[in-house]
Amino acid sequence: MPELPEVETMRRGIARVAGCAIRDFRRPRSRLQSITITPPPSEFRRRVVGRRIVGVGRIGKRIVLELNSGDRIVLAPRMAGLVLLADPPDRGHLRVVFELSGLAKQLLFWDRRGLGVVRLVSAAEFEGRYGPKKIGPDALEISAAELRSRLAASRRAIKVALLDQRAVAGIGNIYASEMLHRSGIHPAKPCNRLSPPEWRRLHAQMGKVLREAIRRQGSTLRDNTYRPARDEPGEYEFRVYQRDGQRCGRCGRGEIVRIVQAQRSTFFCPACQRDVGRGAC
């Protein structure tokens, strides 16, 4: 579930690990299926122990720790992962522990579903795997013109296209529904049928939705898995996501419905998200 707002919230929550040295790297004993860790833990440990974390960044839906060796640790929470400094939801799903010296004493990677990835890469490997040829511009930084140029020729439904991390990085299933609803754009409308005003509205609402979600520490779903570093639920309030059957708060006329696109749930209001979109609220 963690999308750009949740991962950015986690990044900010662990920012004080910058300047800390890694004293140890370990995987707590568990009967659970291991998450993906590359290279193998023995090599991973050899390359990171004694190194200093000099930067804490984010690329799309991943946290990036830059080491003074030039290597980078890429933490991908995927569906149900958390990156924390302390107090994980439980110890049974604690997957990786970095012991630190400095302002922070530990950095934890917790994953309830075991789908997360912890990857150590060199600077060259990072560019090849996560550079601009692989991952698109960040959704908080992309311009309206670039967003349109990257997607406008596509025949894909706009909701599906927004999830393409090669086109624009950081948007996931939840916030795509939210920004399209605020833009008054039907999620199944093909990209090549969006008008210039619709592209401008979408870009504006993309920034508004993501920044509001970051201010509110992201969103916690019904499974209560996601918790910011301060260990309280995210407070972003959905307008359409998981609100099927409820009256639309944007137009007051329609009822939120759920459809499936590319095997994922989409929520929208058929009254105010027609093919010809209306002004955003």
Which residue is associated with the tokens 């994922």?
264
What type of residue sits at position 147?
L
User: What is d(CA 160, CA 138) in angstroms, rounded to the nearest whole number?
Assistant: 17
Two tokens at 70? Answer: 């030039």
Active-site residue among 12, 129, 200, 264?
264
Count of CB atoms situated within 10 Å of the CB of 61: 23
Active-site residue among 3, 66, 178, 198?
3
User: What is d(CA 230, CA 101) in angstroms, rounded to the nearest whole number?
Assistant: 21
Residue 42 has φ and ψ, to the nearest 5°, of: -65, -45
Largest CA distance in the chain: 61
SS3 129: helix
User: What is d(CA 260, CA 9) in angstroms, rounded to the nearest whole number?
Assistant: 28
What type of residue sits at position 232?
E
Two tokens at 10? Answer: 């986690």
Q: Could you confirm whether 3 is annotated as catalytic?
A: yes
Q: Could you confirm whether 61 is annotated as catalytic?
A: yes
Active-site residue among 47, 61, 72, 112?
61
User: What is d(CA 165, CA 171) in angstroms, rounded to the nearest whole number?
Assistant: 8
Which has the closest alpha carbon to 177: 154, 197, 194, 202? 202
The beta strand positions in the chain, using DSSP E, are 21-26, 36-38, 53-59, 62-67, 72-76, 81-84, 94-101, 106-111, 117-121, 257-261, 264-268
The CA R_g of the chain, rounded to the nearest whole Å, is 20
Residues marked active site are found at 2-3, 61, 264
